[in-house]
Every structure is written in C-alpha cells, then in structure tokens.
Amino acid sequence: MATKSSIHIKPCNIASSEAHNRRTAEYMRHIGESRIYVVPELSTDNEQWINPDFGSPDLRMHYDNIRQMVKEKTGRAMQEKERERKGKNGKIVKIAGCSPIREGVLLVRSDTTLADVRKFGEECQRRWGITPLQIFLHKDEGHWLNGQPEAEDRESFKVGDRWFKPNYHAHIVFDWMNHETGKSRKLNDDDMMQMQTLASDILLMERGQSKAVTGKEHLERNDFIIEKQKAELQRMDAAKRHKEEQINLAEQELKQVKSEIRTDKLKKTATTAATAITSGVASRFGSGKLKELERANEKLQDEVSKRNTNIEKLQSQV
C-alpha cells in the first residue's frame, strides 16, 4: 500500500530536536544496540539543509533572538508559558504559550529528494510566512516486522536476517513568527488542510485524510515505538507458549516411550520378545527416536530460555 501524504506540526522541543534530527553521537549511543527504530547502516542515506540566512545553526540561540525581537517590536515579553483567564461565561480558559519555533514531520516516498522537501518549505513560506530553518530527510527509521512482509508490501526489505518496514519522512523546523510585527503567525484548520494538499501535490503522493475526517490523533514517535515493542512482546510471548507446548508434548512422548519399554510385556527375556520390543519401538518411533526426542527437548528448552531473556530486555525498554 502506497504511503499517503501527511504533515503534522507541533511546538519544537529545541532541547531534543537537533540531537534526533542530526543523529548526534550521543543520541546514537543512547539508541545503542537495541536498534528499535533507527538502523545506523541506513543513516548514510539521510540528508539535511540549514537555512543560510538563519545565522547561527543553534536553535537555542535563534529562540533567544526571537524572544529579544518580540520585546523590541511589541514592548512586552514573549508569553512562553501556558496561562489561564476567565471567559465571558465564567469558565476558566487555558491559553497556550507562544511557540515561535515549530517542527513539522512530513511523510515522504523512498525516492523523495531534499530538493523536493525544500520546494515544499519554500511554498509554505510564500503562502503563510513561516520560514524553514532546518530540513532533515530521514530514511533510516521504521520498525521490524514479526515475520515475512505481506504480499502487497513493496517497501519492506531485509536488513541482515530480519525484515524492516521503513518510515520515510522529513523534519522541517519553522520560524513561526512575523518579524515585522513581533507576533506569531496564525494558521487555521483550513490552512493546515491546504498544507497537506500542497505536500501531496509537490511530493506526488496520494493525499491522506485529515484528522477532521478520520478522527485519529497523530501518534508521536515514542508512542509508536512503544506500540511496536508491545506488539513484539506479544509475538514473543505467543512464540514462547508455543515452544513450551512443544516441550510438554515431547516430554509426554518420551514418558510414553519409556513406559512402554518398562512394561512387563517388554521385559521378557525371550529372544522373540526382545525382537518384538525392537521392532515395536522402531515402527512406532523410528530408529533412534528416543535420542532424537531428547535432543529436540533440550533445543526447545534453550530457545525458551533465549526468548525469556529477549522479553526481559524489551520489557525494560517499554
């Protein structure tokens, strides 16, 4: 199924955004060997663009410059924190603080280029006055499949011996301020719907349905990872139960074989009886079946032990 266009914009967390977007060494160390949603081998396909008119590439410094600009233009300090006021009906209304820097996550195709995303950002600036500061094209994120991809899946591919479902997307960091007035740009729901259509047109993708139609909220990256981890835990737990059932069946079969061998009928010393024992066991279980069952039992026990270890690791990450 083809990926549909989608753009989700939220206030930029400047404390963590750049570490994730730039794939800093510290961030990658934090990801570690879990490789839950980032595959380091694919990070070389990532691209980035920093607005040359931006000045310092540091978002914190740009945020501080905006704060100073607002003070100069309006004569008031920028309202950064959420505040409350009483409405006309007497009810308390919460007013969100100013979000001068916002970040959009834009779904893209596998062949989307940095130039394509820059074109989208430039058109957003022309239409709504929001200025792209940074663009990061990520092609190393996604999630691991539990097994083989579905027949209609044309995007998943193998990394090592596992199947990986990529989540191609771009991060666009916007300056959301009008630097002439010192006030924040005001975009309504209709503007956001137009932005999604714009993404569809420029990136040559099928337009996704808006939240107003689907009623679905955007799933943040961390929530998405947790959902995938939970699904993996459930899969591993089911596989563990299946292996345990196999062990129980194998143990029952072993007991049955040993019980038959120990019966009085099979304990007769006559040569004909001994021959019958050999013939009966061989015909029922095959040559060397006892040893084979014991080896299979040991292997299954080892697999369950490994799965228990993996489940404990995943549970510590959820």
Same domain, yes or no: 188 and 248: no
Segment 159-214, tens digit of pLDDT: 999 999 999 999 999 999 999 999 999 999 999 999 999 999 999 898 755 555 55
Residues of the chain with pLDDT > 70: what percent? 64
Answer with the one of 189, 217, 245 that is the final residue of a domain. 217
Tell me whether residue 118 is in a domain.
yes
* Judgement on whether residues 311 and 203 belong to the same structural domain of the protein: no
Q: Do 251 and 157 reside in the same domain of the chain?
A: no
Give domain status of residue 151, yes or no. yes
Using the structure block, give the residue that is written with the tokens 């540091």.
Answer: 58
**Helix, strand, or coil here: 19?**
helix
Residue 226 included in any domain: no
Give this prediction's pTM: 0.65
Q: Rounded distance, CA 119 to CA 33, Å?
A: 36
Supply the mean pLDDT for the chain.
79
Q: Please indicate, yes or no, if residue 302 is contained in any of the structural domains.
A: yes
Of 171, 187, 217, the position where a domain reaches its end is 217
**CATH code assigned at 66:** 3.30.930.30
In this structure, are 269 and 120 located in the same domain?
A: no
Q: Is residue 240 part of a domain?
A: yes
> pLDDT grade, residue 139 (50/70/90)?
very high
- The number of distinct structural domains making up the chain is 2
CA 110: distance to chain centroid? 17
* Residue 164 domain-assigned (yes or no): yes
Per the listing, tokens 């199947």 go with 163
Residues 158, 265, single domain; the answer is no
Residue-number span of the structural domain to which 75 is assigned: 7-81+91-217
pLDDT per residue as tens digits for the range 224-258: 555 666 666 666 666 666 666 666 666 666 666 66
Beta strands in the chain (DSSP E): 7-11, 47-50, 83-86, 92-95, 101-107, 131-138, 142-144, 157-159, 162-166, 169-175, 177-178, 183-184
pLDDT in tens, 47-67: 999 999 877 778 999 999 999
Give yes or no: residues 139 and 285 share one domain. no
Is residue 56 domain-shared with residue 171, that is, in the same domain?
yes
CA of 186: how far to CAs of 130, 177, 192, in Å?
Answer: 10, 9, 11
Residue 98 lies in a domain: yes
Residues 201, 260, single domain; the answer is: no
Q: How many CB atoms lie within 10 A of CB 291?
A: 9
- Identify whether the C-beta of residue 281 lies closer than 8 Å to the C-beta of residue 261: yes
* Residues 309 and 164 reside in one and the same domain: no
Q: Does any domain span residue 192?
A: yes
End residue of a domain, out of 168, 189, 217? 217
Beta-bridged to residue 102, according to DSSP, are: 11, 174
Q: Are residues 209 and 240 in the same domain?
A: no
| DSSP letter for each residue of 220-278 | PHHHHHHHHHHHHHHHHHHHHHHHHHHHHHHHHHHHHHHHHHHSTGGG--SHHHHHHHH
* Residue 168 sits in the same domain as residue 310: no
Is 260 found in the same domain as 123?
A: no
